[in-house]
Amino acid sequence: MTKHKSIHRKTLFFVVLMIIAAILVLIVRLMYLMIFHSEQYAKRAKDLHERERSIKAERGMIYDRTGLVIADNKPVCTISVIHNQIKDKELVISSLSEILQLSEETVRKRVEKYSSIERIKSNVDKETADQIRNLGLDGVMVDEDYKRYYPYDDLASRVLGFTGSDNQGIIGLEVEYDSYLSGINGKILTLATAHGIEIDNAAENRVEPIPGNSLYTSLDVTMQMYAEQAAKKVMEKKQAQRVSIILMNPQNGEIYAMVNVPEFNLNSPYEFNEVLREKYDNVTLTSEEKNTILNTMWRNPCISDTYEPGSTFKVVTAAAALEEKVVSLTDRFFCPGYKKVEDRNIRCHKAGGHGSESFVDGIKNSCNPVFMEVGARVGAERMYDYYKTFGLREKTGVDLPGEANSIMHKLENVEAVELATMSFGQSFQITPLQLLRTASAIINGGTLVTPHFGVEIKNAEGTTIKTLTYETKSQAVSKETSETMKMLLEAVVADGSGKKAYLPGFRIGGKTATSEKLPRRSGKYISSFLGFAPAQDPKVIALLMIDEPVGIYYGGTVAAPVVAEVLENVLPYLGIEPAYSEQEIVTYEIGNFEIPDFIGKSKKEAEEIISAYYFDEIYYIGEGDTVIEQFPLSGEIVNKNSDLILYLE
C-alpha cells in the first residue's frame, strides 16, 4: 500500500513539474514576443486592420527652350474593388462593365478575386469616374490619378517618348530622365476588421504624394514645326520612305529640333501612324508582328540607324588633310571622270570628269577623284586618328536611349581601295548625329561638343535643383583649319554643288551628298544636305536626309532647297536678320516693290496676297470682311518692310 502511494506521489509531482515548466516556457515566450518582437507583431496587427490605397504622384512636366509645355498631365481616375467590402456583387459587376465598357467576364474575374484590393481600370476620365462614384457602390474605390498628355500630339514623338500605364517612361526623354520626372506616390490608409470590412467613422491616414521634377530642354517647338513642315512637304513631293532633319547649335550641342517623318501620335502610341495604317489597313497581324512594327515606328533613325554619309563626309577628309598640311587651296588635280585605285576604276559622279581643278574647285564640285587623292596623302593610319579625334569611333553621348555606334573596317584591313572609298563617304557607316557632331567641331573652332536636349531640372516650386552639363573636348582641329573649312563650305553654297541652299542676305555654308543604299545598284538612294549659318559665326547647323526619293535623287537638287527653306524661317526666328549685298539687292530686286490692289478682296484673299510680299506690320481698320480702301495705294513703289493699312467695310 505504501509502495503504491509513493508511486502516485511521484507521478503527481512529475505532472506538476511539467505544468510549471510549460507555464515558465509560455511566460518566457510571451516575454520574448512582447519585449523583443513587439514592434513586428504590432505592425502585423496594424497591417491586418489597415487597407492601403495608392495616390499617384504627378509626373514632372517637360518644357521646350521657350517655356512651352510639351509633356503635361491630365487628371484621371483608377477604379478598384475590395472583395470583402462588396455587398451586392452582381450590381457591382453589371454597373462597372456597362460604365467602363468592359466585358462582364473581365469585371467578374477581378471582382471575385480574393485580394486586399483589385484594380478594374486605370486612366478613367473624370466624368466617367464621377458617374461611378455617385452610385455609392460598397467595395468600389475611385482614386485620383494622372495620365501623361502631349499637347502637340506627334511633335518630336521619337524624342519625347511616352509613358506606360503606370506612368513610367518607355522611350525617349521620358525614359532617359525617368528618375527625375517620376514622383513619389502617396497613400490612403483606412481601418478595417480582420475580415476586411471597413470600420465606419474610423479616421483615414493620408500620406500626400510628392510630384516629380520638371525637365527643361533645348528643343524648340517653333523650330521643330518649321523643320517638320518642310520635311512633310518634301516627303510627299518625292514619295520618300522617310525624311529626317536635325537642327543643333554647333557651339554647345543643344539640339533645337529632331524630325523624323512620318511621326506618331504620342497620345495614342500603340496605334499605327497614317503611313502604317494605309500599309496594313487590310492585313491581319499577329500580336508579335504588330509589336515588331510598333518598335520600328518608335525607333529614332537619327541616333539608332547608321548609314553611309556619302559626300557630306568629305568635310572630314578635307579637314584632316588641311590639318596635316598635305594639301593647300591652290593644289591642282585632274579628274577624267574616274580614278584608278589598284585594279579598280572608281568613278566620279560626273561621267566626263571635271578636268583640271584646284582643291577649292574639288570641294565645290564634290569631285570624288580629288578626295581619293587627298585621302591617300593623309594615309589610313592618320585618317583613323582623326576619326577618333572627331568622335566618329564612339557614341555621341546624346541624352536619348538606343544610340548606335559607327561601323568601320579594322585599320589593319584598310587597303588602298577601302581608303579611297572612305575618303568620299562610302564603305563604312555612321549615325546622322555622329556626322553632325563632327561637322560642328570642324566649323566651331575645333571643340567637340556633346549633342543634348536636357538643360536643367526644376522641382514643382520652380527651383533649379540641377543644371545639366556635358563633356566637351578641345582642339579637334585648329582654329586656322576651322576658318578655312567655313570659307570652303560657304563657297560650295555660293558657287558649287550646294547653290540651291543659297539664301539672299544670309551667308550659308554646306555640303551635298547622294548616298547609294546597300545592296549596290538597287536604285535606292539617300539624298542629304549638311548646312550651317551664318557661315562666319555658325549659330545653327542642320542635317537633312531624304530616304529613297522617287525620281531625281541628287542631294544638291532635292535636299539643299529644303534646308534653305528651314533656315529661311529659323534664322530670323533666332534674331539673325538678313544683310543684303548691293549685288543681291540688284539681282533679287530686294528693297523696293509695287503695292498690289487689295480693294474688293475678302480679308482671307488679302492675307494670301500679303504672304508673298515683305510687309512689316499689317493693320486692319473696321470689322467687316471686304477691303474698301488701302494705304499705300495700289501701284505705289515702297521699300521692303513697309506697313500696310487695309480699311474693311
Q: State the DSSP string of 575-613.
A: T------HHHHHHTT-SEEEPPP-TT-BHHHHHHHHTTS
User: Which residue, 294, 263, 295, is CA-closest to 153?
Assistant: 263
Are 482 and 442 within 8 A, CB to CB? yes
Q: Tell whether omega for the bond before 596 is within 30 degrees of 0, i.e. cis.
A: no
Q: Residue 280: pLDDT band by 50, 70, 90 thresholds?
A: very high
Q: In terms of C-beta density within 10 A (0-12 exposed, 13-18 middle, 19 or more buried), how is residue 16 classed? A: exposed
215, β-bridge pairs: 62, 457
The three grid cell numbers given for residue 98, joined into one nine-digit string = 456597362
Q: Is 35 exposed, middle or buried (0-12, 13-18, 19+ CB in 10 A)?
A: exposed
Condensed to tens digits (0 to 9), the pLDDT of residues 321-336 reads 999 999 999 999 999 9
**CA dist 586 → 555, 590, 616 (Å):** 29, 7, 21
In this structure, the strands spanning 642-648 and 615-621 are: parallel
**Exposed, middle or buried by CB within 10 Å (0-12, 13-18, 19+), for 171?**
buried
Given the C-alpha cell 532635292, which residue does it identify? Answer: 558
pLDDT at 293: 96
What are residue 647's phi and psi, to 5 degrees? -95, 125
Cell of 605: 484673299
> Catalytic positions, please?
311
Greater confidence, 311 or 80?
311
Q: Which residues of 331-348 are buried (b: 16+ CB within 10 A; e: fewer)?
A: bebebebbbebeeeebeb
Residues 576-592 have pLDDT tens digits of 988 888 787 777 767 67
- Reported confidence tier of residue 222, pLDDT bands at 50, 70, 90: very high
- Report the C-alpha gap between 231 and 545 in whole angstroms: 9
Question: Of 171-175, 203-207, 420-424, which gets the smallest average pLDDT?
Answer: 203-207
CA 447 vs CA 133, 334, 454, 488, 549: distances in Å: 60, 34, 20, 19, 34
Distance between CA 144 and CA 129 in Å, rounded? 9
pLDDT class for 597, splitting at 50, 70, 90? very high
**Radius of gyration from C-alpha coordinates of the chain:** 35
Tell me: cis bond preceding 632? Omega within 30 of 0 counts: yes
- Is the CB of residue 538 less than 8 Å from the CB of residue 449? no
51 or 12, which is more confident: 12
pLDDT, tens only, 436-465: 999 999 999 999 999 999 999 999 999 999
Per-residue pLDDT of 75-134, as tens digits, reads 888 898 888 888 898 999 999 999 999 998 999 998 888 777 888 998 898 899 999 999
CA angle 403, 62, 206 (to 5 degrees): 120
Could you give the CA distance from residue 216 to residue 65 in angstroms, rounded to a whole number? Answer: 7
229: pLDDT strictly greater than 50? yes
pLDDT at 48 over 60: no
Contact in structure between 417 and 342 (CB atoms under 8 Å): yes
pLDDT, tens digit, 9 for 90 and up, residues 528-578:
999 999 999 999 999 999 999 999 999 999 999 999 999 999 999 999 988
What does DSSP say about strands 50-55 and 62-63: parallel, antiparallel, or unpaired? unpaired
Q: Which of 247, 250, 218 is nearest to 447 (CA)?
A: 250
Instruction: Return d(Cα 403, Cα 200) in angstroms, integer.
Output: 56
Stretch 267-273: mean pLDDT, rounded? 95
Using pLDDT thresholds of 50, 70 and 90, give the confidence band for residue 1: low
> What confidence tier does 45 reach under pLDDT thresholds 50, 70, 90?
low
- Tell me the CB-side half-sphere exposure of residue 485, using CA atoms within 13 A: 32
For 360-372, b/e burial (b = at least 16 CB within 10 A) is bbbbbbbbbbbbb
**First-to-final CA distance of the chain:** 137
Query: Which of 643, 610, 649, 644 is CA-nearest to residue 628?
Result: 649
3-class secondary structure, 356: strand
Confidence category of residue 46, pLDDT binned at 50, 70, 90: low
pTM: 0.82
H or E element at residue 261: strand 255-261
Q: Look over the chain and give the mean of its residue pLDDT values, rounded to a whole number.
A: 90
Element at 346 (helix H, strand E): strand 344-347
pLDDT surpasses 80 at 204: no
pLDDT, one tens digit per residue, over 394-430 is: 999 999 999 999 999 999 999 999 999 999 999 999 9
Q: Where are the beta strands (DSSP E) in 45-170?
A: 50-55, 62-63, 69-81, 118-124, 140-149
Q: How far is C-alpha 385 from the chain's CA centre?
A: 31
DSSP-derived secondary structure letter, 559: I
Is residue 494 scored above 90 in pLDDT? yes
What burial letters (b/e) apply to 617-635, b meaning 16+ CB within 10 Å?
eeeeeeeeebbeebeeeee
